[in-house]
Amino acid sequence: MDEKKLFEELSGLVTESRNPNSMEIDMMDTLDAVRVFNEEDKKVAYAVEKELPYIAQAVEIVTQAFKNGGRLCYFGAGTSGRLGVLDAVECPPTFGVDPGMVVGRIAGGYKALTIAVEGYEDHEEYGAQDVAELNVTEKDVVCGIAASRRTPYVVGAIKEARKRGAKTIVVVCNPRKDLQYDVDVAICPVPGPEVIMGSTRLKAGTATKMILNMITSVSMIKLGKVYENMMIDLQQNNKKLVERSKRIIMMAANVDYDRASECLKIAKGHVKTAIFIAKTNESVEVAKKYIDQNQGFLKRALLAWEKDQSK
């Protein structure tokens, strides 16, 4: 794309337009300046709300992929790429899943997480190469993240993923009607111009973070990784998480600290199993049998156990 055409394309993006509410922010006192940011941030949740049906579609696609042994693979540049990597790396400790189940790739590689590697995003072939490097297949879901909707690296990743038969999702912060490539689901919140023109780490970044939170969290809920509203497959990688695990067992099973600690030890650190033991006084073997028979859903396992006890 020649420079003039690129200039014209960027000029038409919502994310590159000026915000009339912050035109005088360089002359405002501190309180007024932060108030402008706060007022603009309030618009983000409403923009995301309009996209809930599309987010739900994405969750269904991702959940089915997980059930079939597939992965969720994020591809993005700059802030978008960093948010994808962040969401991916949080899934194993939160939900106890394999690190390869949700993966994130950022244009420029992992050094771009801490040092801007801006030029890398300008090449579709780099996105395609990263998809190939991950050996994406028809089992996987590729989610491109691009506030502007036109980032070449992301477009290249989406195109290559579609060639390989993978399901594709895109998260952009410009209108759906302007999308210029095919995907299975397009999630397009439009939170409006940034307080600082073009700085998409602001409202666009916040909208993106909210959406990625929903996609992975609700998918994990639908896999049985949550009991009521508590994480029950979390990994205990530090003392804080060990104590959080005990508290979850205490609340879920209505037992005291010592009993929760005992059950966690019996279950060898598996919170879900420990809750079943605490609520039923059954053995590890019985707990695992019921949990496995109910595809990892603790509530279903407990209901099945109660039904058997009433016979």
Catalytic residues: 90, 121
> How would you list the strands of the sheet with 102-106, edge to edge?
102-106, 72-76, 141-145, 167-171, 185-187
The type of residue at 1 is M
Burial of 74-113, coded b for 16+ CB within 10 Å and e otherwise, reads bbbbbbbbbbbbebbeebbbbbbbeeebbbbbbbbeeebe
Strands (E), the chain: 72-76, 102-106, 141-145, 167-171, 185-187, 226-227, 230-231
> Within 13 Å and on the Cβ side, how many CA atoms surround 158?
24
Q: Are 105 and 73 in contact (CB under 8 A)?
A: yes
